[in-house]
Structure 1
Amino acid sequence: MRIVPNLRLLLQIGNVKLLEGKQIVLIPTPSPDPNDPLNLPTWRKWAILVLVSACGCTAVVLASGFGPIFSMVVASYPGQTEKANDLITYPTLFMRIGNLIAMPLAMTIGRRPVFFFLQCLNSHIGGRNVMSLAAGQSEALAPMIVLEIFFLHERGTKLGWFIFIECTGTGVIFIVSIYMTAAWGWRWWYAFFSITNGAILLLSFIFISETLYDRPEDATTGEVELNLDQKGDMEKGGEIHQIFRVTTSQGVVLEREKFGPRTWRKDLELVSVKPKWSNIVETYKHIAQAFYVPSMLWLLLLNGAFLGLYVLEVATFSDVLMSPPYLLSFTDLGYVQAGQIIDCLIFLPLLGMWSISAPNVAYNASYFAFLEANVVSITYAVESFPLQAGSLLVVLCAGRGFISFGLSYATLTSIKSIRYDGATIAEAAVAGALAIMAVPLFFFGPKIRSFGQRAFDMGPHKETDEFRWRSGFQSNPEPE
């Protein structure tokens, strides 16, 4: 802890001090409150990570993983092939509409009630669209929960685990579901997910606690400003200012007498925060402001282009691979997506052109590109503009869905005239042009981030009324 006279702390987002000597500064600063989600035990954090990843896995497969069984579904609706395409394209649109509804509510009444309400939401096209409204929370709300329980130096790794569990689970489910539908019919595909989601819902109700926690803005920089009087006691208008940092070696002393202990009874409450309905307006305001930031606009377009290419391939690969010259069996289709990461990283450079694996590997390569764009975009948005993380996740996750819906729907309806290769070339050209824009954005990144801070009204730190939150640090030891 160090004394700084007459200091007004500025939020230098993206330029925080991560090291104090040889120790890592914990960012955001954990409070002395046992109910702070950052103070959850390690096992509980991993339980939450695994459960939201599992939820995301089933949501992604339900909403956009219809490809392997699509040919069987089409056979159930003879003469309606083009109409059946809506079973794939429209759910991607409704997933993003779900984000626009769910995230502002989550910023207002808390993550837990929105998460469980959407988990409970589960003509054929209409049913899938309603399900996709609920599945949308897996894209923005689920990673938001993960990011809120881990510190800045942990987030990249834990977000990687979130994506890894989601993608690995998706691959396994594709293999299992293809044999299940071949034996019992495609309607059991939905029954399987109803049972699986029921189990996830039960475990989530027990282990996933509320992660929305109101902390001062300066805690996002790892430097909490304490105002003291001449005697060293906390005072809102104190003239002496102390900057308090919490490091990995020091930790934080929990003040159970001041804040109360963490209990299972409180963790199981469906709504444990006082709603701030003005947050809904603020969230939509920040969503609109994001379009003024060039880097966020580019990431949105890039995500939308790659997702559109992926959705196009999901809707068409079963017909391509079951037709000459490949003639794969229906049960073989489940393996197309099972090795999506391994194929891209290891086998892509080793394969010869035009082998039977070429369509599979190209499909997985496009998915890997979308996955990388997704991870990089989320990490950039959350770490560059942490105070608006929820709003920016909505921009990326919802916006790319609207863009991909337009691209994939347009190309799917024109396949008869431009064929499969023409449709994929058109999508790839759009994605490639956007990818090249990464070069100038790399060099102008710091200036763009600074402009973004001004666009989001990130000015000088404002005094908060959380006197009780800050006063808890007085009993904490000074860092070594």
Structure 2
Amino acid sequence: MSLDEKNNVSQQRDERGTQADDHRYAQVLKRHGRVDLIPMPSDTPADPLNWPSWRKNVLLLIVAFHAMQGPLGAAIVIPAFEDFVQDLGVSIAEASYSVSIEILFMGVAPLFWAPISKRIGRRPVYLLSALLSAAFALGGAYTNSWGALITTRIFQSIFISPALSVGASTVDDMFFSYQRGQKMGIWTLLVTCGPIMGPLISGYLVQYRGWRASLILLAAIHLGLFIAHFFLGPETLFLNRVPPGEPYDEDEVAKRSGWRPFLSLHVYSKQPYRASEFFRPFAMFARPAVLLPTLAYTMAFSYTNVLMTIFVPQLFGEAFHLTPGQVSLQFIALLVGALLGEVVAGKGSDAFVNWRARKNASALGTSDGEDPTQPVWRPEDRLMLAPPGFILALVGLIVWGVQLQDATVGKWNITPDIGSAIAVFGQQLVTTVCVTYAIESYRSETADVSVFISLTRQTYAFIAPFYLSVAYTNMGDAKASGLFAALIGLGMLMVLACSVWGPSWRERSQKAD
């Protein structure tokens, strides 16, 4: 057992205490029915870890839905490319920039939102995000020039982006380690579903009402999101957590009681902004336990979700002569794959990790004389579920490409959709496992890790379409799909490396810090 693992086990046991019946843990046991919790909540009901499950889950759904709006807002105009050509005098290639430019800015903007949320909390950032993104989406619907439309799209993407990174911190604020796979999976699931849902809900709308209607719908969704945050989204940032049994700040409880937290703004830190804060996420490039799973997830996401979102309208339209509305229905297969994937990824990974934690405790107790009844969580245990996800993703992508290439022109068949469903099923398993592992590896730096993941994913997704189209044009659907499936396989090797060397990498970075 490595020194890092021994220190981690010792820290876990120090946090929860060695005696479950210790009077200091009476409130914890009463509220949660167990004391083997990481992190350990304080006794105050103001602590988000102590909130009722219904309140946590409602806010989780709101934040996850908010995160979905970034990629959904970018992709909602995909069925409108032909309308842009006719109304605004641009080429099809230029029309695609209305999507790619949003993807890029959604990756960069969280660098600024994360430090702001540490000063004023998550709630004000979410409220500002939803309200201003609604305003710019509505403004875009009434523009009459390509330049004005692109400008509103840029600002709309900047303001909708916070939940793509700060959302992980919100999940971490409210839930314990044994729940994190399932809860983080809900957040990542809706991010996955964003590019799928955009064209799905706007296909027939654009076909019968025009491209402006899609942006009006987007503005209405974001305004509804603002209302949901305002009435149902309390602040989750909690900086004054004390160990169980110790007195807590009564003023903090009063500030978080009733309607007061919904109607007031609380400044959590007056520390001046420093340039290093905005660049801290780049330090994750030097941490393989974050960098490698992030790259692996990013490649799986780009070569399944992003690739299919872009090429379903183009390839299906050419192969089967479908209308925009009919093309939008093909995204149902991707949605089904993502939903089924998360059923396995969230609860499945938590169940497996919790089982491994009990096995770890038993083995450790036997070898070190420790208490074998207290679970011991190790981040690498979660990665054991990643390889099946990678394999399904690359197999599904190959099926998708081969069946499209062999399809009879003008005669629709379901086999490419089956391939896409398998690919996104695997990709969602990869997403939940890799993102949760990266965050669990450095929990004290959740905000920086999540910003790094978002920046890497969005930048890669922005670049990918520029060479994806070249590959599919020059190589054909089958060979190009095989090439990108091989890159997904490369991502699997990165995750396997983390399974072997992850503990030593974390130990080395902790010593360096």
Structure 1's 110 and 316: CA in aligned 2 closer, same or farther, altered over 3 A?
same
Matched length: 414
Q: Deviations over 1:247-283 (max 9, x none)?
A: xxxxx99875885363234311453133243575564
Q: Deviations over 1:108-149 (max 9, x none)?
A: 322122222221222222222221112322311123212211
Q: Deviations over 1:438-478 (max 9, x none)?
A: 223212222123223334x3xxxxxxxxxxxxxxxxxxxxx
Higher mean alpha-carbon deviation, 379-388 vs 16-25, is at 16-25
Structure 1's 329 and 288: CA in aligned 2 closer, same or farther, altered over 3 A?
closer
Higher mean alpha-carbon deviation, 383-392 vs 252-261, is at 252-261
Residues 115-154 of structure 1 aligned to structure 2 (within 5 Å): 115-122=126-133, 123=147, 124-154=149-179
1:27 aligns with one of 35, 38, 42: 38
TM-score (norm 1): 0.75
* Aligned position for 2:54: 43
Cα deviation, residue 370, structure 1: 4.0
* Aligned position for 1:188: 213
Residues 402-413 of structure 1 aligned to structure 2 (within 5 Å): 402-412=459-469
Does 2:101 align with 1:90?
Answer: yes
2:503 aligns with one of 443, 446, 456: 446
TM-score (norm 2): 0.70
Measured in 1, the distance between the counterparts of 2:252 and 2:458 equals 45
Residues 48-127 of structure 1 aligned to structure 2 (within 5 Å): 48-77=59-88, 80-122=91-133, 123=147, 124-127=149-152
Measured in 2, the distance between the counterparts of 1:382 and 1:163 equals 13
Structure 1's 305 and 294: CA in aligned 2 closer, same or farther, altered over 3 A?
same
Cα deviation, residue 212, structure 1: 1.2
Structure 1's 282 and 375: CA in aligned 2 closer, same or farther, altered over 3 A?
farther
**Structure 1, unaligned stretches of length 5 or more?**
1-9, 225-243, 247-251, 458-480
Measured in 1, the distance between the counterparts of 2:202 and 2:252 equals 52
Corresponding letter in the other structure for 2:465: S
Q: Is the 8 A contact 2:77 2:214 kept in 1?
A: no
Corresponding letter in the other structure for 1:406: I
Corresponding letter in the other structure for 2:171: V
* Aligned position for 1:16: 12
* Aligned position for 1:289: 283
Measured in 2, the distance between the counterparts of 1:329 and 1:20 equals 66
**Structure 2, unaligned stretches of length 5 or more?**
1-5, 21-32, 134-146, 342-391, 408-412
Q: SS at 2:332's partner residue? A: coil
Q: SS at 1:339's partner residue? A: helix
Q: Deviations over 1:11-51 (max 9, x none)?
A: 73897247966934232222233432223233322221121
Q: Is the 8 A contact 1:110 1:273 kept in 2?
A: yes
Q: Is the 8 A contact 1:13 1:385 kept in 2?
A: no
Q: Is the 8 A contact 1:63 1:88 kept in 2?
A: yes
* Aligned position for 1:431: 488
Q: Is the 8 A contact 1:118 1:134 kept in 2?
A: yes
Cα deviation, residue 186, structure 1: 1.8
Measured in 1, the distance between the counterparts of 2:494 and 2:279 equals 27
Corresponding letter in the other structure for 2:433: V
Cα deviation, residue 332, structure 1: 1.8
Does 1 or 2 have the higher relative contact order (CA < 8 Å, sep 6+)?
Answer: 1
Does 2:237 align with 1:212?
Answer: yes
Q: Deviations over 1:291-342 (max 9, x none)?
A: 1111211122223323332333322221211113x22332122222223253
Does 2:356 align with 1:360?
Answer: no
Corresponding letter in the other structure for 2:428: L
Higher mean alpha-carbon deviation, 136-145 vs 264-273, is at 264-273
1:272 aligns with one of 256, 266, 272: 266
Structure 1's 365 and 93: CA in aligned 2 closer, same or farther, altered over 3 A?
farther
* Aligned position for 2:441: 384
Q: Is the 8 A contact 1:67 1:317 kept in 2?
A: no
* Aligned position for 1:472: none
* Aligned position for 1:399: 456
Cα deviation, residue 179, structure 1: 2.2
Does 2:316 align with 1:321?
Answer: yes
Instruction: Let me know the Cα RMSD of the aligned residues.
Output: 3.5
